[in-house]
Amino acid sequence: MADMAVSRFPEPAVLDKGWIPRGVSRCSTAQFLGWLSPWVALLLLGLYAGWMCLRDGLYHTNMDHRFVFGLWIFLDLAIIALGAGAFFSGFLFYILRWHEMGAVIRSAVVLGFLCYSGAVVVLMVDVGQPLRAWFTFWHPNTHSMLAEVTFCITCYLIVLSIEYLPLVLKNRKLSQIPSFLVFEFQLHKVMPVLAGVGTFLSFFHQGSLGGLFGVMYGRPFAYREGFGIWPATFFLFILSAIAAGPAFLMLTTWLTEKISGHRLVRGSVYRLMARTSGVLLTAYVFFKCVDTVIWLNSTSQQAGFRPWEFYAWAPFGSWVLFLEIVVLGLLPALILLRASEEGPRRWLLCGAALACAGIVVNRLVFTIQTLALPTLPFDEFRTYLPNWVEVATFLGVVAYAVIVYSLSFRYLTLFPQEKELARATARGPQQEEIHVSGR
């Protein structure tokens, strides 16, 4: 029956087959272009919105002197934290030699590149005057954590670009050019050094992103005590980012599997990422609880605030704290730890989704809730909602990420196990299990 169906309705042509890695199947060119077209439309809308802001200024947005950090900074912080999977996977693979991570390291690099480049583009629109961007390097304020963030993100984006380049040069067509292949090979040899540099840079800019809230003495909701020049948020941001990174990697891998209809990595890789994420998330929740207790009972009271005062303003009630620590912190940590030992994959993915949501809520709390709360007697509580220009600009960045990731998935070998899993699947489920367990 299947053969009859095939002969009556021949499969659509894959016109770009020569560019697609051998041994993997991809949808037809027409289907792929169909998938890309709505994202391209969204990208164009985002470019238009971004251009409006660059041309006329931020009055097109709902940001003002109170809400200087709006949707863009909130989501920048979130995607930079989620993109931490790139540096953390590189650290596990190249430095700690966790060879199982080789199954997802390439995808992690692409995701990291997209998260960081997307964040930089949005920052460029937010700060404005992109032609004067070099001022930040020429006149750095070495007493500001933002200077450290700017330097580290810029350097890390360079590192990610260098890490992305070998993947592109390994494309089936491009690798036919001998000089590309040789250069890719030599670049690959310096990857452990770059992974080390990336870890160093990420460690500090993830921390400094948290630190810049923690040092705001005038904002008691965010202000934290800590160690030396680093407030507690410096360490919590690092820990939460490296906990969420593998979870986001799991989610994107699963999503790619669902959309493409192919198995991409073995179950053992999912379980390894889940265990790693679960352990780190547990540690994060523990330290977050300690930090919250100290903040509520000591730090905020020294600033003249009683704990419940922070949560007296709707919609940011105490439920936000409960949601962040218990529902999107402790619960996914337990799910990930439990499901990494046994149980169906859907629990792993459920835990990963909750963990990622937890990081997003945490960054929302630090950017939006911090600015919404009054800090002086004549202040008032104010809410903020982004307008279409802000939303469209950010959706444009999301569209850019989807387009580049889709192209990368189609033309590059992002998941080295895909080919082998496809063959094992063709051999049948029983043989597949034997083969997989034999590894």
Partner 1 sequence: MFPGVSGFEWSVAHVIFLGAFFTVLVVILASLTAAAIRYLRAWRERRAAAIRWHAEFEELPPAERLCRHALTGTAPGRLCERGFDCRTCAEHPAFAAREAQGLVAVPNGIDHSPDRFYHRGHAWVEPQADGTVLVGMDELAERLAGPAATVELPPPGAVLDTHSIAWQVQREGAVARVLAPIAGRVEETGSREQGWLLRIRPEGKLDLRHLLHGPEVAAWFQSELERLQGLLAPAAVGPTLADGGLLVDDLPTAQPEADWDHIYSAMFLRP
Q: Enumerate binding residues for partner 1 (CB under 8 A).
A: 2, 6, 17, 22-23, 137-140, 142-143, 147-148, 151, 155, 158-159, 162, 170, 175, 178-179, 181-187, 189-190, 193-194, 197, 200-201, 413, 416, 419-420, 423, 425-428, 430-431, 438-439
Half-sphere exposure of 242 (CA within 13 A, CB side): 25
With residue 49 as reference, give the H or E element that holds it.
helix 29-56
Q: Compute the least distance from the CB of residue 422 to partner 1, in Å.
A: 9
Residue closer to partner 1, measured from CB, 344 or 438: 438
Q: Compute the least distance from the CB of residue 185 to partner 1, in Å.
A: 5
Give the DSSP per-residue string, 119-167: HHHHHHHHH--GGGTTHHHHS--TT-HHHHHHHHHHHHHHHHHHHHHHH
Cis peptide before 416 (omega within 30 of 0): no
Q: Compute the least distance from the CB of residue 1 to partner 1, in Å.
A: 9
The answer to whether 387 and 96 have CB atoms below 8 angstroms apart is: no
* End-to-end C-alpha distance for the chain, whole angstroms: 36
Q: How far apart are CA 9 and CA 21, in angstroms?
A: 25
Residue closer to partner 1, measured from CB, 117 or 393: 117
Residue closer to partner 1, measured from CB, 44 or 190: 190
Strand, coil or helix: 112: helix
Residue closer to partner 1, measured from CB, 140 or 307: 140
Q: Compute the least distance from the CB of residue 188 to partner 1, in Å.
A: 8
Radius of gyration in angstroms for the set of CA atoms belonging to the chain, rounded to a whole number: 23
The answer to whether 386 and 367 have CB atoms below 8 angstroms apart is: no
Q: Compute the least distance from the CB of residue 72 to partner 1, in Å.
A: 25
With residue 353 as reference, give the H or E element that holds it.
helix 345-364
Residue closer to partner 1, measured from CB, 341 or 433: 433
Residues whose CB falls within 8 Å of the CB of residue 215, separated by 6 or more in sequence, listed in order: 145, 223, 231
Residue closer to partner 1, measured from CB, 11 or 380: 11
Residue closer to partner 1, measured from CB, 148 or 390: 148
Per-residue CA distances from 373 to 297, 386, 437 (Å): 19, 17, 55
The answer to whether 164 and 109 have CB atoms below 8 angstroms apart is: yes
Residue closer to partner 1, measured from CB, 151 or 284: 151
The answer to whether 184 and 193 have CB atoms below 8 angstroms apart is: no
Q: Compute the least distance from the CB of residue 96 to partner 1, in Å.
A: 20
Q: Compute the least distance from the CB of residue 275 to partner 1, in Å.
A: 24
Chain-centroid distance of CA 199 in Å reads: 15
The count of residues in the chain is 439
What amino acid occupies position 25? S
Report the interhelical angle of 71-82 vs 105-127 (nearest 10°): 160
Q: Compute the least distance from the CB of residue 197 to partner 1, in Å.
A: 5
Question: What six digits make up the tokens of 331?
Answer: 């619960």
What amino acid occupies position 432? E
Residue closer to partner 1, measured from CB, 257 or 309: 257
Q: Compute the least distance from the CB of residue 207 to partner 1, in Å.
A: 13
Q: Compute the least distance from the CB of residue 3 to partner 1, in Å.
A: 8
Q: How far apart are CA 359 and CA 240, in angstroms?
A: 7
Residue closer to partner 1, measured from CB, 129 or 142: 142
